[in-house]
Amino acid sequence: MATITLIPGDGIGPEITEAVVKILDAAGADLQYDEQQAGLTALREEGDLIPESLLDSIKTHKVALKGPLTTPVGEGFRSINVTLRQKFDLYQNVRPCRTIDGIKTRFDQVDFVLFRENTEGLYSGFEIFDERNQIADGIARVSRKGSERIIRAAFEYARKHGRKTVTLVHKANIIKQASGLFLTVGRELALEYPDIEFQDRIVDNMCMQMVMYPDRYDVIVATNLFGDILSDLGAGLVGGLGVVPGANIGDGIAIFEAVHGSAPDIAGQGIANPTALLQSAIMMLRHLNQMETADKVETALFKTLADQSKTTGDLGGNNSTQQFADNVIANL
């Protein structure tokens, strides 16, 4: 039996978490939960945004499932998501984007996995504001070590899952040092993986390519900011943030999370869609080697999503969060 840290989060977090745990239990997942708070909820209840008990729990159990956390824009505290990623050195942000039957999108054969570097780049936290001259500087730190481990993770994933191509995204024509280093390391590593085709794309071109020919992409790897933007673009190609999973993975610890936010506009109404968190939980089950349960939950989820009358409001149905969970359970 695996014990995981369960972080319901803010806003719609607790509602979708309850639905997901219900489904996992019904599917017979071999899991125990150590429930912990983070963010605004933790601040209110425990006086700390990232309580020590949360950090200890993640260190002990090594795997966490996390609901969304509220982060104020442009002021207040630094994003807790970013802090957790840096604290546990979760350098891989993995976002699978796959067409789901029944979810209306412009394309129907999308199936790629995006690896975003999660600890460096413009998100390193090196920002300076010159008050007098009103100039803001942000430093994009890219290291050889940081580039190598994320690009290697992408190649290893491709090899393990029978994927054919790794596409590296950069802007080395303009950002010659930071983006140039990432591309150089990618080209070097590609020589170690002759069985995988390697290509690179400049990020602006890549955006166009992804919306015109998304089925041409397989495994994509990018630095932090480009990866952040492309991963939401990818989500948009397959139905939006409400349906795609996300994982933050390091060499020892992994945090699986819903990639959408805390949706304050619908929080507390019982109408949020738990699909994204459930998809993340399916990734987590595979990470824990509970393959059979993962397949079972995934099949039931896809069957439910394929019938619009069984879905939540955002997908055109009129089921509540808990009714949706019951519909998935009925399909197990």
Active site residues: 123, 171, 204, 228
Site string for ligand NAI, 165-184 (x = CB under 6 A): --------------------
Which range binds ligand NAI by CB under 6 A, 30-38, 94-102, 252-260, 286-294? 252-260
33, 61 Cβ separation under 8 angstroms: no
Closest residue to bound ligand NAI by CB? 261
Q: List, as one string, the DSSP characters of 16-78.
A: HHHHHHHHHHHTT--EEEEE---HHHHHHHHS-SS-HHHHHHHHHH-EEEE------SSSSSP
Which of 71, 86, 99, 143 is in the footprint of ligand NAI by CB under 6 A?
Answer: 71
181, 148 Cβ separation under 8 angstroms: no
d(CA 68, CA 71): 9
274, 259 Cβ separation under 8 angstroms: no
Which of 314, 317, 319, 331 is in the footprint of ligand NAI by CB under 6 A?
Answer: 314
In the bound state with ligand NAI, the residue whose beta carbon lies nearer, of 150 and 263, is: 263
Count the site residues for ligand NAI by CB under 6 A. Answer: 22
Phi/psi at 66 (5° precision)? -125, 130
In the bound state with ligand NAI, the residue whose beta carbon lies nearer, of 87 and 159, is: 87
The H-or-E segment that residue 113 falls in is strand 111-117
In the bound state with ligand NAI, the residue whose beta carbon lies nearer, of 198 and 324, is: 324
Question: Considering the complex, what minimum distance in angstroms separates the CB of residue 262 from ligand NAI?
Answer: 4
Question: Considering the complex, what minimum distance in angstroms separates the CB of residue 76 from ligand NAI?
Answer: 10
d(CA 119, CA 86): 6
Q: Which residues bind ligand NAI (CB under 6 A)?
A: 12, 16, 68-71, 81, 241-242, 257, 259-266, 272-273, 276, 314
